[in-house]
Structure 1
Amino acid sequence: MTPAARTAAAIDLLDEIEGQPRKPADAVANAFFRDRRYIGSTDRREISALVWSVLRARRRLDWWLAQGSAARDFISPRLLVAAHQMLDGRPLDSVARGFSGGRYAPAELDAEELRRLRPLDGHTLDHPGMPLAVRHEIPDWIVPNLTARFGPALESELAALAAPAPLDLRVNLLKATRDDARTALARDGITAEPTSLSPWGLRVSGRQAVTSAAAFRDGLVEIQDEGSQLLVGLVEATPEMRVVDYCAGAGGKTLALAMTMQNRGQIVACDVSAPRLEGAVKRLRRAGVHNVERHLLEPGDKWAKRRAGSFDRVLVDAPCTGTGTWRRNPDARLRLRPEDLAELTVKQSQILDTAARLVKPGGKLIYGTCSLLAEENDAQIDAFLTRTQGFTLMRTLSLTPHANGTDGFFGAVLQRQASSPDPDPADQP
């Protein structure tokens, strides 16, 4: 593809992302490229890089394009891409030549588009007049929440949160050592170094096609952020245990739990989504895991009630705002609303109350999120302990991109007292 054709494809992809505002951008992109298999891998990478660069800079681009325009003026994907190219160092004349209207190229920039782009000539993306929320690409409403969380470290954390995330892998010790996995990756030209915090992690440098490597296809490695690996470490699951992964999704943490349990004991992977649980099957087979059963949580389901007090470990990787993963999902910060946070904190409380009943006396409940917000983390645990008898907080884990080089994660380990009654919330009959 020519550079102009890549620009046109990036505009089309951005248009589709904007047309599905509640759907993650990576899911939209996957469908976009699946429907256009004629786009080769190199072109896909270039198109994706441009689109994700625009998404990472969306608020700043909007700020520039709002200068001298009415606040509600529509900002099209065409304008966003052209503005990004200009603020990345290209003069307007050069950008306009790429919008030639020729074969596979975007249509020519019209007079109104040129008027809005002309003031950007000679400028760079950042500007001292930008408000903090614009400069760091976060919603205005969340600034007080993050200020309360980070205090003087706020700007450092926000800067780290705006940077691209590294690619981390978890070595599957059921099939290989970390050195074995590194060697296997190297055979496919993929350089990986041990992570500094997780004993099972490898960090891959640059953008490399890990999923096409033999090490991935053969189940030696799984893609998993180092912070997520450390949350699994909090569970301390051993081979003789019965363990529940209560919000298992597609099974990333289930796989890691099976590894720490040496494929022994019993793991029940639960989720409310049948497609997500079904998606775990292929991953379990590839990893050689066979100590996992899946259970779909449905309205009116009596499964949790029948198995109350029967598990050594219960992991709740709770649904959350995902603010800790904004490095990977820059579009998510544009979608997050205050009402989302309010709805999620209620859901988290309900899940904690139900999952707590599964923990046997002396067992442990492990709560985790990929959120940076106190409302979903420490405050959620404080509220649980206030309304629930028989649990003691043993430890917490807090990880951030700036402080730890991982995604933002929170974890808390709560132990049920050996002689405690069924853990019904204190404020319920």
Structure 2
Amino acid sequence: MTPAARIQAAVDLTEALLPLERPADQIVAAFLRQRRYIGGGDRRRILELSYGVLRARAKLTWWLNSVGDEASARAMVTAYLVLAEGWSADQVAGSFDGQGFNPTRLEAGERQMLQALSGKSLIDPAQSDAVRLEVPDWLWTHFAALYGDSAETELSALLAEAPTDLRVNLMKGDRAAALAALAKEEILCDEGSLSPLALKIRDGRAPIAATKAFRNGLVEVQDEGSQLIALLVDAKPGLRVCDFCAGAGGKTLALGAVMQNKGQLLALDVMKGRLDRAQVRIRRADLHNIERHLLRDHRDPWLKRRKAKFDRVLVDAPCSGSGAWRRNPDARWRLGEEELRRLVGLQAEILESAQRLVKPGGRLIYATCSLLAEENGRQVEAFLASHPEFAPLPAVNLWSDISSAPYPGDPAEAALTLTPARHGTDGFFMAVLERAGESDAHDDAKDSDKQDRRGKEV
């Protein structure tokens, strides 16, 4: 593709993305499937432009409104070229020549708009904090109240591109083996600073899925913060563990590897497609103690028969995903106040259902990839107020067993909070809640270890 044709493709993709009707990754996947002729270098440039527009959506809209223009996909892309990449109006016009697959020629109004924006940058002193930091007005007040003087720092970090992290699968090898295997395929990585299993790819756009290390299950793509959540579940070999909202199995895989195929690991979800995708990853990772079960909903009567059966129950709850805005920049604009209220209510219902599975002396682990207090600390406070049989177990007490790095959270707080600004991970919250009573985990471990489990559906 010519450089100009890439711009036109970016306009086409941006036009599909801007209505915000579906998650951006789904739209991008469908767009590229329909255009398999697009090569790797072309794909990178197209995504760079389209995601650049998404990450600067509020500022671009502000600028276009200031010069009396509508925020169409074509206007957003051309404005991004001028404001973010420093193109002149003449340079843009040179690419919009209508030749072949190149964009059609600029109209007089478009030229005037670009000339008005020439020499300016994305950020302007007249922009509000919410516009400058790319967050809806109503959400800005939440962040400002929660983070105070550091709110700008936290939100600014969410505007950057996220790195690509890998988790080494202990069932296949250690971190040194993974580093060597990836280096042979010209994928250079550094060790993560927090998780003992983490690798950080130096080139975040490297084709990991095409490597032998990935295809053979030695490594999985997983944010370092997500790895820490799984490790802090403390899922020892032989225990009975439930991943209540397993999704496509990212944390399930991490739990299974730590358990070394010993014990019972139950992966639950209400979406069949997710569990089906998880099975592909389970086989690749050579894990055999994982059972999958599709729930009708979080109140499924099937759960009653598993009451007080598990040593660990992880609730990686559906949430706003605000901690992952670096990866999903469109998500901030698809989240409304009503949706947040719905999510908070759903999280409370899921916690209420999942807690029934925790045996005396067992632990309920609540986690989100959110940075909002309503979904995190306040959710846990409300649960504990109605369940005095549970008590918070400080995450710092578990830290030395999983990592030699300094504890990344506040030791004065029981829960662990990770943010892109402070830790370089996605934003995560995790609280470990222990049920009163004596655990009979040792006897259960012996019984569970006798069972032959081959990653079946139940």
Task: Specify the TM-score bucket, using the shorter chain as the normaliser.
Answer: over 0.9
Give, as a single letter, the amino acid of the residue that structure 2 aligns with 1:27: Q
Q: TM-score, normalised by structure 1?
A: 0.95
Q: In structure 1, what is the Cα distance between the partners aligned to 2:14 and 2:222?
A: 27
Q: Is the 8 A contact 2:64 2:70 kept in 1?
A: no
Larger mean Cα displacement after TM superposition, 382-391 or 371-380? 382-391
Partner of 2:87: 90
Q: CA deviation at 1:346?
A: 0.1
Give, as a single letter, the amino acid of the residue that structure 1 aligns with 2:356: R
Where do 1:277-356 residues align within 5 Å?
Answer: 277-299=275-297, 301-356=300-355
Q: In structure 2, what is the Cα distance between the partners aligned to 1:268 and 1:261?
A: 12
Q: In structure 2, what is the Cα distance between the partners aligned to 1:158 and 1:56?
A: 12
Q: In structure 1, what is the Cα distance between the partners aligned to 2:380 and 2:211?
A: 41
* 2:158 partner SS: helix
Q: CA deviation at 1:297?
A: 0.9
Deviations 1:59-114 (A, max 9, x none): 11111111032xxx631110011001111211101101211111101112223323
Q: CA deviation at 1:22?
A: 3.0
Deviations 1:334-367 (A, max 9, x none): 2111111100000000000000000001000000
Q: CA deviation at 1:159?
A: 1.4
Q: In structure 2, what is the Cα distance between the partners aligned to 1:193 and 1:22?
A: 37
1:80 aligns with 2:76: yes
Where do 1:173-252 residues align within 5 Å?
Answer: 173-206=170-203, 207-252=205-250
Q: Is the 8 A contact 2:53 2:76 kept in 1?
A: yes
Q: CA deviation at 1:333?
A: 1.2
Moved over 6 A (4+): none
Q: In structure 2, what is the Cα distance between the partners aligned to 1:209 and 1:342?
A: 38
Deviations 1:271-323 (A, max 9, x none): 01001101111100111111101011104631111111000000000000000
Q: Is the 8 A contact 1:323 1:370 kept in 2?
A: yes
Q: CA deviation at 1:126?
A: 1.5
Aligned residue pair count = 416
Q: CA deviation at 1:18?
A: 2.5
Q: 1:266 to 1:50 in 2, by over 3 A?
A: same
Q: In structure 2, what is the Cα distance between the partners aligned to 1:7 and 1:419?
A: 63
Q: In structure 2, what is the Cα distance between the partners aligned to 1:181 and 1:23?
A: 35
Partner of 1:276: 274
Give me the CA root mean square deviation: 1.3
Q: TM-score, normalised by structure 2?
A: 0.89
Q: Is the 8 A contact 1:65 1:117 kept in 2?
A: no
* 2:37 partner SS: coil
Give, as a single letter, the amino acid of the residue that structure 1 aligns with 2:78: A
Question: What are the ranges of 5 or more consecutive residues in structure 1 without an aligned counterpart?
Answer: 421-429
Q: In structure 2, what is the Cα distance between the partners aligned to 1:2 and 1:354?
A: 55
Q: In structure 1, what is the Cα distance between the partners aligned to 2:258 and 2:420?
A: 25
Q: CA deviation at 1:256?
A: 0.2
* 2:314 partner SS: strand
Q: In structure 1, what is the Cα distance between the partners aligned to 2:21 and 2:316?
A: 22
Give, as a single letter, the amino acid of the residue that structure 2 aligns with 1:129: A
Partner of 1:424: none
Deviations 1:347-402 (A, max 9, x none): 00000000000000100000000000010000000000111231001121100111
Partner of 1:423: none
Q: Is the 8 A contact 1:195 1:202 kept in 2?
A: yes
Q: In structure 1, what is the Cα distance between the partners aligned to 2:57 and 2:21?
A: 16
Where do 1:317-396 residues align within 5 Å?
Answer: 317-395=316-394, 396=415
Question: What are the ranges of 5 or more consecutive residues in structure 2 without an aligned counterpart?
Answer: 395-414, 440-458
Identity between Structure 1 and Structure 2 (%): 53
Give, as a single letter, the amino acid of the residue that structure 2 aligns with 1:225: D
Give, as a single letter, the amino acid of the residue that structure 1 aligns with 2:358: V
Q: In structure 2, what is the Cα distance between the partners aligned to 1:49 and 1:385?
A: 44
